[in-house]
Amino acid sequence: MKFVACNHVAHAAAILDIFNEAIANSTALYDYQPRAPESMVGWFKAKEAGRFPVVGALEPDGALLGFASYGTFRAWPAYKYTVEHSVYVHKDHRGKGIGRALMQQLIAQAESQQYHVMVGAIDVANAGSIALHEKLGFVHAGTIRQAGFKFGRWLDLVFYQRTLDTPADPVDG
């Protein structure tokens, strides 16, 4: 397995497949309808504009096993040192340590970009993702009960956070 910076041309279709499988079959994404291919143009543009990484894990043949990224946590300036991340692994490759490896890459990226807090929003029933985050030093930061409604039931959303040692010299403004 190798890690690459994903781009629209090479990876959009594979990322879209992973997103759409998660939408259709899980509560990893609180979304109802599969995303259209053209939605990936805006998704990648937003990542590029914010200088947010999209890290991919590839098989030797180039097939995407999973990806991780982060973006703006909240739009107000004082949140500039906090990012909200996500990690998705192809359904055929879960439980093999790929999510952990992707998250380690993402944490290193966040530190190199001088972020201070990483936040993950996880469905309370996603025990695998919660366990992964806890193993990587994330702690439970709160629960929003009945935050979403999907598959005919209310969904509770938990937040996990990891505080990084960066930046060395934070500033206002």
Q: What share of the chain is helix, strand, coil (3-state, %, to 5)?
A: 35, 30, 35
Q: What is the pLDDT of residues 149-163, one digit of tens each?
A: 999 999 999 999 999
pLDDT band at 40 (very low <50, low <70, confident <90, very high): very high
Q: What is the pLDDT of residues 99-154, one digit of tens each?
A: 999 999 999 999 999 999 999 999 999 999 999 999 999 999 999 999 999 999 99
What percent of the chain has a predicted confidence (pLDDT) above 70? 100
Please, are residues 54 and 44 in contact by the beta-carbon 8 Å criterion?
A: yes
From the list 97, 26, 39, the residue with the least C-alpha distance to 66 is 97
pTM score, two decimals?
0.95
Q: What is the pLDDT of residues 82-96, one digit of tens each?
A: 999 999 999 999 999
2-163 carries CATH number 2.130.10.10: no
Segment 5-18 shows an average pLDDT of 95
* Separation CA 172–CA 170 (nearest Å): 7
Supply the pLDDT for residue 173: 86
* Separation CA 118–CA 131 (nearest Å): 16
pLDDT band at 48 (very low <50, low <70, confident <90, very high): very high
Supply the pLDDT for residue 97: 96
Mean of all residue pLDDT scores within the chain: 96
**Domain residue extents for the chain:** 2-163
Contacts 24+ apart (CB under 8 A), 8-11: 8/40, 8/41, 8/44, 11/54, 11/56, 11/64, 11/67
